[in-house]
Structure formats: structure tokens, C-alpha cells
Structure 1
Amino acid sequence: MSAGIGTGLGLTVRGLTTLFDTPRGMALAVADVDLDVGPGEMVGLVGESGSGKSVTLRSIMGLIQTPGHVTGKVEWGGRDLVAMPAEELRRIRGSEIAMIFQEPMTALNPVLPVGLQLEENLVAHTRLNARERRARALELMNIVGIPAAERRLNEYPHQFSGGMRQRAMIAIALACSPKLLLADEPTTALDVTIQDQILKLLLDLRDRLAMSVVLVTHDLGVIAGTCDRMAVMYAGRIVEMGTVIDVFRQPRHPYTRGLLGSVPRAGAVRTMLSSIEGTPPGLTDLPAGCAFHPRCSFATDICRQERPPLQSLGADRKVACFHHDRVAAAEAIL
């Protein structure tokens, strides 16, 4: 499923590029990202730390401040968020598009009760009176499964557990029933039981509210269990896209193949897990050609000289690799 430019409330990202001025020079954090998210669709962004996933979400939301610079086009309901005046963008942010940040303890205000932080969004984007806002805040706490919700509204973030803080963050994001939710590693640092509860909650809310979701994670298991489509990022660029089933079944980029090779497979013969040698490149000193070539066993001279374009291999499959056929053939042998 993909959204076309200007159709409905799908998200269409074209050529999104985010640069940061640093003492070491210009850092290219996100480069020429194209991404479509259809109504009610859940799309995963996966990659190592520093690959550009979180910056992509913040760029879409218009949260990049100086010394950062964002160019490209982010269309939402026929409107370009990148070119939009700040005041108009503030009316969309929090109402039509909401974001769950990676660490709730730093995203939540430690000196304000959770209930008041929930109501702030309602004050900014609705005409509800004080009693109606309180009722809506209580409803949201119940929706996300926070027990003793009426009492917890008056408590502070430090009085919540990690899982309950994450649920409170989700409640704040959902206050105005957004049509697009950007979730930046919403299960990081949570134990597996709470992680499973949060992911099931997001799926339930996606279905109940017909909400689109972009989910950032480095956990391929989370992608497999929740997303319809996925995009793999490396050094600020999308290097492979497709349905979750297609990418897991036959990765066509060496980086994707390496990520999948580092994850145990159910039912597979017991063997050593593989790893990707080396480390991601610095954003101020990216290598020429394909950024992954110093770590790639498939690299040839063309990889060191030219950057591979993100080419289409079918309706919902794209890859940026000169040797994607060799990668697919190698995977088929395993």
C-alpha cells in the first residue's frame, strides 16, 4: 500500500535531506529519502544507531532547529510541511500528526503532573472546556491501559514505571486522534513483556483509529511482528524497501542481509550468527561511492566510485545496490 502525492491523508516524502553544520564540516544525517505511508499502514524504519532513522522522523515533524537544515518535500493531505509557515505547522503537529519520543523520562516534563501534560495538547488543539479535557485525559489513560487512571492523572512522571511512562507518552500523542503517528523506538529499554504489550497496543490503536504509523526501531523482530512494509537505512539513505515478507524472505542489499544474518531464525540449523564487520562511517566523512562498500563482501570497483541509485524492482520493492542479484542468489543458497 502506498500513498500518492496529494491523495487523502497519506504521507509522501520526496528528496528529504537534513544537514547539520558542525566544527568538522557539514554532516549529512538524512540524504534524498523517499517514503510513502498509506492510510492505516504501518511502515518500519530499521538500521544501526546513527543511520538517520530518528532524524528522518524529526525532519518530517519540523523539529530540526539550527544548525540543522532540511530540504525536500513532505506532503501531508496535499500540503508541504517543509515549506509550511511555523504557525500553520504547529496546528498540524500534535493534532493530525503526533510523535512518540524515544525516552519518555526526558520527553515528559518532570515538574508537571501527567494529567496536566495530557491536557496541554487538548488546550492547544481543541475547544474542550476544563471538565471535558479532564474527562478526555481520563479516557486516554484507560485506552492505553494505565490502571487507577483517575489517581495517576495527578502523579508525576517519576512515580510511573518505564512501561507506564511509555503508555503516558502514547496517551499524549493520541490526545487529538491523529491520523499519523511517528514512533521513535517506543519500546527501547523496556523488558520483553512490557515491549510486547506496547506493540500490541499500537497495533490495536492503529486498527481502531485507522491511523498510519511510522515505526523506528533497530529490532528486526519488532518489524516482523508489526509492520506491513519496511525501509532499511544506512548512512542517512534508504538502501532497501519492500514488504516485510519480501525483504525477510530474500534481502537484496548486503547490509540488509547482514542485519538479518545477525538474528536467530526459528527452525534453522544451529549455526554461528553472522555479524557485519567494521563500523558505520562518520556523517562528515562519508566514503565515495556506496557508503557501505568498506564493510561489504560483494563490493567491486564500481561500488567504490559510484553511489548506486535506489532502483525499483517491482511494485513495492526498491534497492540501492549494483549487485542486488548476486546478494539475492547468495541468500538463496543459505
Structure 2
Amino acid sequence: MCTTFHRTGQALPALRDVSFSVSQGEVLGLVGESGSGKSVTLRSIIGLARRYGNVTGQVRWQGRDLVGMPDRALRQIQGREIAMIFQEPMTSLNPLLTVGLQLEETLHAHTDLSKVARRDRAIEMLNLVGIPSAKQRLKDYPHQFSGGMRQRVMIAIALAATPKLLLADEPTTALDVTIQAQILDLILQLAQDMDMGVVLVTHDLGVVAQTCDNVAVMYAGRIVEQGPVRGVLKHPRHPYTVGLMRSVPENLPPRTSLYSVPGVPPSLDALPRGCAFAPRCAACVASCEQDRPPLSLITEGRQVACFNPVTNEQGNAA
């Protein structure tokens, strides 16, 4: 899958040859720095990126290609079969409508339930996500909920039509640590109960280690490494993944300088000719600057896009 934006006649490649699969009941983590293409990937999957960009390639969903699907047919899948939780619930929820009405709108669009049944289902969903006095709170507006409760409402709306795939775009952004843990536990528990696949976008590698089955590391619109979460995080093979792991502070003495990956990610209008990470990579070789390394299988279940991948010993040392 590729996604391109256009600015004054210039094509800006936001995603290039992104490819992964998610099985029923699997949790896949998407990690990388801001601007690496994680959110655009989710929007491209569900068809939202086509409103302001050009999505090419294929997005295979239960034998159908979502990329070439007409908008009307795609809307039957959005929310019903594939749902999405956005980063900031206060801007995703309509401040002029009660949460009950917004829940019932989703059910009206994606189910055949009667009006009474939709209300009962809305109450059931609010109870399911842990909102007390659910029946009374149907009449409340988004601003009457705390940040954590608004995120729970977003989860209830996303899961109301019992989708088979959930796209979670940093669902714990701007929440305190305790609420973050509650929201993540809730998503994982509901995913298990509903046998639902999840694609989780996050910056927190600790969250990935605790919640995900597989992980894909993104940089400059490409997946540079992917595989089982334990193998990728314990033995990273791409220099960028090694840098991300080194950036996580662990058992450091006081006043120790924190590590950060040198340099900054490239702009979409100034991508390097070869490997996008080459200008920041200490392991860069001549071929890195001239050619783009393909995402290749290096061992069972592990793929890396690098001409000079890190050995297991080097990865352990990092």
C-alpha cells in the first residue's frame, strides 16, 4: 500500500510499500517517531486518507480490496467491520450532541436494531466500557466527561457494531498513567472477548511489550522491521529499532544524559535517494545512500529493510 499527498503539483509520498497482516484475535503494534506514517497507515486502511490523498496498492479485507472499493460500499465496512479509535476524543466527539445520540447514530448506520433496541445497546456498551450510571449518562454531552471517560465513550462507539478489526490510534494520548493502563486493559479484554484483531499505534515500547503479539517499526513512511514482539524488542536488527530501544531509559543513575537517535526524520519533500535512515545511521554503507533496501525475511517471522542489519550480539549490547 502506498499513500501520496499533493502540494502545488508536487507528490509527497507519505507511505511507501507498507505491507503487514493481522489475524483474528491478534494485536499488532505500530511504532516509530512522530511523522513516520503510523496514523496515515490506519487512515489509508479504512479509507479516510482517500479524501485528501491518493491511496494505491491493495488493502485486502476478507477477500475484498478496499482501495478500489466505491465510497458507498466502503461505508458499509467502516464502523461495522473495521472500526477506529482516534487520538483525541474531545475533537472526535461532536460537542453539540449527547453521547447517547452519537452511540445510537452508529448503531442506526450499521445495524438493523429498532430504536428501543439501539438505546438498550447504547446502555449496554457504556456499561461494558466501565462508565457508571450508564442510563443517566446517555443524556450527557462530551464536555461533562473526564478525559478517560471520553476515551471510554469513543471505545464504546467504535465497538458498538461488534467489528472484526479495531484500529487504535494512540488511544491513551494525554491521559495519566493510571487511566492509560485502564484503557489499554479494557481494549485488550474486549478484543479477547470479541475475538477481534487490533492494530495499536503507540510511542510507548513498554506498552508494545506488554500488550502486542507482533510489532512493525515504521520510519519515513516505510516498515523497516517487523516480527514477533519478543524477538524484535529483545534482538532488534535494524539500526533504527536499536536506537528506539536505547532511547528507553532503564536503570540509569541520576543525572545521566538520556540517549536519542541522532538527527531528525526527513521531510516528505526531501527524502533521501536510498535508505531514508542513512543520514542518521552509524552502520551506513555505500549501497544505503544509492538504493532503497527491500523489506526482506532474515529469519522465520522476522523481516528487516537494511543492507547492513545488526547482529544479535550487537542488538543485545544495545
What range describes the TM-score normalised by the shorter chain of this pair?
Answer: over 0.9
> 1: CA distance between counterparts of 2:27 and 2:185?
13
In the TM superposition, 1:128-277 aligns within 5 A as 128-265=113-250, 272-277=257-262
How many pairs align? 317
Matched letter for residue 33 of structure 1:
V
Equivalent residue in structure 1 for 2:294, among 284, 290, 309: 309
Q: Does residue 301 of structure 2 align to residue 332 of structure 1? A: no
Q: What is the DSSP-based 3-state SS (H/G/I as helix, E as strand, rest coil) of the residue aligned with 1:318?
A: strand
Q: What is the DSSP-based 3-state SS (H/G/I as helix, E as strand, rest coil) of the residue aligned with 2:14?
A: strand
Q: Does residue 102 of structure 2 align to residue 125 of structure 1? A: no
Cα 1:158–1:85 shift into 2, 3 Å: same
Equivalent residue in structure 1 for 2:16, among 14, 20, 31: 31
Unmatched 5+ residue regions in structure 2? none
**Aligned residue for 1:5?**
none
Matched letter for residue 308 of structure 2:
H
Q: What is the DSSP-based 3-state SS (H/G/I as helix, E as strand, rest coil) of the residue aligned with 2:57?
A: strand
Assess if the C-alpha contact under 8 Å between 2:238 and 2:310 holds in 1: no
Q: How far is 1:218 from its partner? A: 1.1
Fraction of identical pairs, as percent: 61
Unmatched 5+ residue regions in structure 1? 1-15
Matched letter for residue 232 of structure 1:
V
Assess if the C-alpha contact under 8 Å between 2:209 and 2:229 holds in 1: yes
> 2: CA distance between counterparts of 1:134 and 1:239?
45
> 2: CA distance between counterparts of 1:165 and 1:17?
33
Assess if the C-alpha contact under 8 Å between 1:24 and 1:284 holds in 2: no
Cα 1:254–1:151 shift into 2, 3 Å: same
**Aligned residue for 1:44?**
29
> 2: CA distance between counterparts of 1:27 and 1:329?
38
Q: How far is 1:65 from its partner? A: 3.6
> 1: CA distance between counterparts of 2:35 and 2:172?
18
**Aligned residue for 1:7?**
none
More strand by percentage: 1
- After superposition, give the CA deviation of every residue in 1:16-63 in whole Å (9 maximum; x if it has no partner): 000000137211111100111011000000001100000000000000
Matched letter for residue 242 of structure 1:
G
Q: Does residue 284 of structure 2 align to residue 299 of structure 1? A: yes
Q: How far is 1:85 from its partner? A: 1.4
Q: How far is 1:207 from its partner? A: 0.8
User: What TM-score does the superposition give when structure 1 sets the normalisation length?
Assistant: 0.92
Assess if the C-alpha contact under 8 Å between 1:52 and 1:236 holds in 2: yes
Assess if the C-alpha contact under 8 Å between 1:29 and 1:52 holds in 2: yes
Assess if the C-alpha contact under 8 Å between 2:242 and 2:315 holds in 1: yes
**Aligned residue for 2:48?**
63
Q: How far is 1:137 from its partner? A: 0.1
User: What TM-score does the superposition give when structure 2 sets the normalisation length?
Assistant: 0.96
Q: How far is 1:128 from its partner? A: 0.9
Assess if the C-alpha contact under 8 Å between 1:81 and 1:89 holds in 2: yes
